[in-house]
Amino acid sequence: MFYTHVAFALMASLVSAKYLHPSSLVLFIFVACFVSLVPDIDNRDSKIGKHVKFISKIFDHRGILHTIFPPIGLFLLFNYLSYNLLGIAALVGYSSHILIDAFTPEGINFLHPFTTFRVSGFIKTGTFLEIILFLLLSGFDVFYLLKMVL
């Protein structure tokens, strides 16, 4: 789901940037797209997790790193450091990852460990349906980028 996460984060950052008018659109989008990959650092088989396998031994996949707490923490950290728009970009990117993971059968427990309630969907990772979703998101991204440029 690596590419789908990036495509969704790109869409979310483009829409957010339309209303926020960041001073550096490229940096805003880059931060959002990069941070959208961070939640899977707890999965040793993910693109980012395979480089830091020890983290998957500390955190369960789709545990605390797939909740609302890390994006809020990143947002507050960036704001504390006076990087307000980058804090918003991190919040957008991280949240986009969690939101799209909620569409999978495994789902997401947004408030782990305080509750066991999970939000889940029907789009299995690596299936034809995910490819369709990726293509739709990519199409939106291209359309939106062209609309911004032209």
118 or 56: which carries more pLDDT confidence?
A: 118
Q: Per residue in 86-120, pLDDT tens?
A: 999 999 999 999 999 999 999 999 999 999 999 99
Total number of domains constituting the chain: 1
Q: Is the pLDDT of residue 59 over 90?
A: no
Q: Per residue in 1-51, pLDDT tens?
A: 799 999 999 999 999 999 999 999 999 999 999 999 999 999 888 888 888
Average pLDDT over residues 63-77: 97
Global confidence as pTM: 0.94
Three-state secondary structure readout of the chain: CHHHHHHHHHHHHHHHHHHHCCCCHHHHHHHHHHHCCHHHHHCCCCCCHHHCHHHHHHCCCCCHHHCCHHHHHHHHHHHHCCCHHHHHHHHHHHHHHHHHHCCCCCCECCCCCCCCCCECCCCCCCCHHHHHHHHHHHHHHHHHHHHHHC
Give the domain extent around 23: 2-149
Query: Binning pLDDT at 50, 70 and 90, where does residue 145 land?
Result: very high
